[in-house]
Structure 1
C-alpha cells in the first residue's frame, strides 16, 4: 500500500517544514509515502468560499485515480486514539488497497463533490488547527501508527 497526503498551499514556516520532512523520512522506512502539495488558488480573494472549495476540490480530484481510497481530514470525522488509528491503517493495508489518500482541505474545508467522493473522514481533534500544523500532526501520527504496529518503543502506553 502507498499513503498519499494531499494538502492545499505550501508550508511557509521553515521550522514546520523541517519537522514534516523529518517525519516523512522516518515514515518511508515503513511504507511508500508521498506528500503532494497543491498550489494555492490564484486570485482566491475574488472567489466566494464555495467557488474556492470547488476549485480546490477539482485540483484534489485531479491528483487521484478512481481506485484510490480517499479519507478526508475533517473536524466532523471519526476520532481515534493513536492505537486505534494504527489499527485503522492495518485494516486498510489488509484490505488490499493500493493507495490510501489523506486530504487536508483549504481554509474553508472541502467541496460537496469531495465529500461525495470520499470514503471516510478522520478528525485529529475537536479543536481547530492551522493547515500548516495539521500536516505535521498527520505525518507524525502516521509514523507513530507504524511504530505501534511494529511494537517499536516510540509510542508509550
Structure 2
C-alpha cells in the first residue's frame, strides 16, 4: 500500500505526521509526502501524488483560518479536490480542521484525532472497504465524539 500525504505550510498543526504515525503503527505502508504553501495548492499536489508517485490513495490536510476569505479558499480547495478525484478515479480523503471550530487550546486535540481517525479510514478504504458499510448512518465523527444514528 502506498499513501500520498498532501499538506500545507499554512496549517498551524502538523496533522500529516500524526496520520503517518497512525498508518505505520497499523499497516506496512509506503508514504509519499508533498507539502505546499496553501490550501488551494492541495488539489494539484494530490493529483501529482497520484499520477507521478503512483499512490493508492491520498490524504489532503488543511487548516483554514477563521476569516471569510479562508472559508472561501477552503471551499475552492474542496472543489478542486473533488475534481482531482474524478479526474484520477482515486480517493482523496480531505482532512481539514477549521481554526474556528474549536478554541485554540483544543485545536491540537481535534487535529490529531481527525488525522488519526482518517488514517484508519484510509486503511479501510484500501484494505477492506466493506468494513465501512457496518458504520453507515452511525454518525461517526473524526476529531470529536461520534453522534450516533437517529432512528424512527
- For the criterion TM > 0.5, the same-fold answer is no
Question: Higher helix proportion, which one?
Answer: 2
Pairwise TM-score range, normalised by the shorter structure: 0.3 to 0.5
Q: If the length of structure 1 is used for normalisation, what is the TM-score?
A: 0.40
Question: Higher strand proportion, which one?
Answer: 1
Q: If the length of structure 2 is used for normalisation, what is the TM-score?
A: 0.41
